[in-house]
Amino acid sequence: MEESRRNFIKKAVIGTTAVTFGGILPSFSAKSYGNIMGANERINIAMMGVNARGKALANNFALQANSQITYICDVDSGAIDRCMPEVMKRQKHQPKAEGDFRRALEDKNVDALVVAAPDHWHAPAAILASSAGKHVYLEKPCSHNPHEGELLIEAVKKYKNVIQMGNQRRSWPNVAAGIREVHNGAIGKAYFAKTWYTNNRAPIGIGKEVAVPNWLNFDLWQGPAPRRAYKDNILHYNWHWFWHWGTGEALNNGTHFVDLARWGLQVEFPTKVTSVGGRYAHKDDWQTPDTQTIGMEFGNNSMITWEGRSCNGLKTDGATVGVVFYGEKGSLQINGDNAYQIYDLNSKLIKEVRDTNKVEATSLTNPSQQLDAIHIQNFFSAIKNGTALNSDIIGGHQSTLLVQLGNIAQRTGKALDIDPKTGKILNNKDAMNKYWQREYQKGWEPKV
C-alpha cells in the first residue's frame, strides 16, 4: 500500500490544479472541498514552525485539495495548540502534534516538510528532511549563511528530492508577466533594478535573562546554533535582528525583491557588493541594520540596489515594497501586489496590469494566501510530475546569496569583490573565514 501510494505521488497528474490555484471554490466549504480526492492521492505534509508565518502556511496547505497536514510541529506547545483548530477548520484529518519535527521525518507516510522555523534552522532542517527521503517547501531565506546554501544544492543532487524556496512572487501570474515584459524589451535593455522595503517597527528593548518558559523547548529552538542564554526579548519575532539566529531585514524581506531584480536582469552572481547602514532608529538589543543600502554590480553592465528602512515607513515611489527596472526606453515597476506598470522616459504611464486579489505587503504572516497557493501547487506538481520549479534551490541560493553578501559587506565594512562564476568572495580571507559559514553547536552540524 505504501509503495503504491508513493508511486502515485510521483507519477499521477494533478487533476485539481486548475481549480485549486485560487484557493477553494465558492460553493464548497474548506472541509468538503479538501475531501474531494481520496486520502491516498494526497501529499502528506509535516509543518515545522507554526507560530506566525508557519500558521498561515499551515492554513494554506490545509486548503489545498491534493494535500493534507499530518503533523504540526513546534518547540512552542502553545503555537501547536493555536494552529491545530485552524487547520481542522480546513481539513478533516486530525494532524499529530509533535514538539520535535525530527520524529515526523521518521514517519514513512510523510511526503514533504514545510520549514517555517527561524532562519538558523532553515537549511539544517531541509537537509535532515532530504536525507529522510522527504521533499521540502523552504521559507526564504533558504539559508543562514552562504555555505548552507551550497549544502542545499548538494543535498538535492544527492537525494534527488524537490526543494522549493518560498519566494512566492515567482509564481504570481502578473509579476511573472511583468518580468517577461522586461525580458522581451518593453523598456529596452534593462540595466538597473532598485528594490526597497519600509516599515515602522518598534524598539525591542534591552532583554533580561529569565527562566525558559515551560511552553518552550529552547534547546531544540536553538538547535544548530551555539547555545545562548534565554532572554525575554528574543521570541517570537525579534530573533530576526540578532546575527546569531537571524539575518536582518535584508534577508527577511529584501530576499523577495532582490530575487525579482535578479530574475528581471537575468543575472546570477555579482562582481562587486557594497553596503552602508546601521542600527540608527533606536538604542536597544537589535544588532542587524534597521537602515541599510546594499549595492550589487554585475558583469553584464547592470546593477541592483536594495534599501531597507525597518523603522521609517515613508513609501518609496508610492509603495512600501517594490522593484523598479530602469531601461534604455523606460521603466517597469512591480510593487507588493500582483501587478505592474510601464513608464516611458518622461514618466508617462503607458501600460498598467492590475489584479483584484488583495495583498497586504507588510503583513508579517499572510500577505497573499490565494496567490501563494499557486506556488504551493507548483511544488506539488514538481513532486508528482517532475514539473520545473518556479523557484528551485539553485536560484533560491543565488538570490539569498546576494543579500547575504550585502550583510557580509556591512559587517566587514568593506566592498567585496566577487567571483562572478561561483559567487565566492575574492581577496578577503577575513570575510570568507568569519562569515561564509558559521560555528555550530557540537553534534548539530548540517551534513550532506
Which helix (H) or strand (E) is 138 found in, with range?
strand 135-138
Q: Is 142 helix (H, G, I), strand (E, B) or coil?
A: coil
Q: pLDDT at position 370, please?
A: 85
3-state secondary structure of 308: strand
The structural domains of the chain, with segments of one domain joined by +, span 2-170+371-392, 181-363+394-435
- Cβ atoms 338, 124 nearer than 8 A: no
Torsional class of 230: left (φ above 0), alpha (ψ -120 to 50), beta (otherwise): beta
Percent of the chain at pLDDT > 70 equals 89
111 pLDDT exceeds 60?
yes
pLDDT (average), residues 103-117: 98
Nearest C-alpha neighbor of 264 from the set 320, 317, 192, 330: 192
Per-residue model confidence (pLDDT) at position 4: 45
Query: How much is the pTM?
Result: 0.89
Buried b or exposed e, range 375-390, using 16+ CB within 10 angstroms: bbbbbbbbbbeebebb
**Whole-angstrom distance, CA of residue 141 vs CA of residue 395:** 12
**β-bridge pairing 190-198 and 302-309:** parallel
Of the pLDDT bands very low, low, confident and very high (cuts 50, 70, 90), residue 432 is very high
Q: Extract the C-alpha cell encoding 265.
A: 536582469
For range 285-297, the mean pLDDT: 98
- In angstroms, the Cα distances linking 189 to 4, 135, 265, 302, 337 are 51, 38, 9, 10, 24
Task: Provide the CATH number for the domain formed by 2-170+371-392 in this structure.
Answer: 3.40.50.720
CA distance 162 to 112: 9
> For the chain, how many helices (H) and strands (E)?
15, 16
d(CA 233, CA 137) in angstroms, rounded, equals 29
* Sequence-ordered strand ranges (E) for 30-106: 43-48, 67-73, 96-98
Mean pLDDT, to the nearest integer, of 360-364? 51
Give residue 357's pLDDT. 66
Residue 388 pLDDT level (bands cut at 50, 70, 90): very high
Dihedral angle computed from the Cα positions of residues 246, 250, 254 and 259, in that order, rounded to the nearest 10 degrees: -90
Q: Under DSSP, is residue 311 helix (H, G, I), strand (E, B) or coil?
A: strand
Max CA-CA distance within the chain? 65
pLDDT tens digits, residue range 310-326?
Answer: 999 999 999 999 999 99
User: Are 187 and 342 contacting, i.e. CB atoms less than 8 angstroms apart?
Assistant: yes
- pLDDT for residue 355: 87
Please determine, for residue 20, whether its predicted confidence score (pLDDT) is greater than 80: no
Asked if the model's pLDDT at residue 37 lies above 50, the reply is no
Among 87, 81, 72, 158, CA closest to 117? 72
* CATH, domain range 181-363+394-435: 3.30.360.10
- Residue 280 C-alpha cell reads as 540608527
